[in-house]
Amino acid sequence: MNSSQLEQRIREGIPIAAEMAFRVSSLTDGGITVTGGGEQNHNVHGTAFAGSLYAIATLSAWGLVQSRLPEGAELVIARGEIEYRKPVIGDIVAHCNIERETFDSFLENLRLKGRARLKAVSVIESDGGVAAEFSGLLHARLREASGAVD
């Protein structure tokens, strides 16, 4: 799945993403950068709304993993938490990277067992430092696990 296909899938499947001016800026096999518009995601203080930071960070982690899943796989975030460190002014930019070996092991478990889980971390930077860090536990399963090897 390329960045345009992923962005379209997210915007269609999660309608609020379009309202947040969500965009996939870059996508590789091991990394993603996504943005949300500053104008659409601000709070009464003129900084990014905490819920928007959480949503954009979550979509970066989910999006990266979703982009690598085989046809017929479903993905959910089973647990997620975020640490807010400093305010974000303007656009929200989130990055998520997963090492190749970690991703390969995750995909192999999914192929063999019909299900797998993976921890992903997404970072939002602002003014030269980390503004927020999201950590999520993602669960994937094949819809038709009958093809999985026990």
pLDDT exceeds cutoff 60 at 56:
yes
Amino acid at 92: I
Query: Residues 100-118, buried b or exposed e (16+ Cβ, 10 A)?
Result: eeebeebbebbeeebebeb
Return the closest-CA partner of residue 109 out of 55, 51, 70.
70
Supply the pTM of this predicted model.
Answer: 0.91
Residues 46 and 89: beta-carbon distance below 8 Å: yes
Residues 30 and 63: beta-carbon distance below 8 Å: no
Angle at 61 between CA 9 and CA 27, to 5 degrees: 65
Residue 3: band (very low, low, confident or very high) from pLDDT cuts 50, 70, 90: very high
What is the dihedral angle through the alpha carbons of 49, 55, 61, 64, rounded to the nearest 10 degrees?
A: -110
The pLDDT value given to residue 143: 87
What are the φ and ψ backbone dihedral angles of 105, each rounded to 5 degrees? -65, -45
The secondary element (H helix, E strand) that includes residue 123 is strand 115-126
- Structure confidence by residue, pLDDT tens digits, 60-116: 999 999 999 999 899 999 999 999 999 999 999 999 999 999 999 999 999 999 999
Angle at 31 between CA 72 and CA 141, to 5 degrees: 20
* Tokens encoding 114: 């019909």
Instruction: Tell me how far CA of residue 24 lies from CA of 78, 100, 115, in angstroms.
Output: 23, 20, 26
The pLDDT value given to residue 150: 43
- Structure confidence by residue, pLDDT tens digits, 7-40: 999 999 999 999 999 999 999 999 999 999 989 9
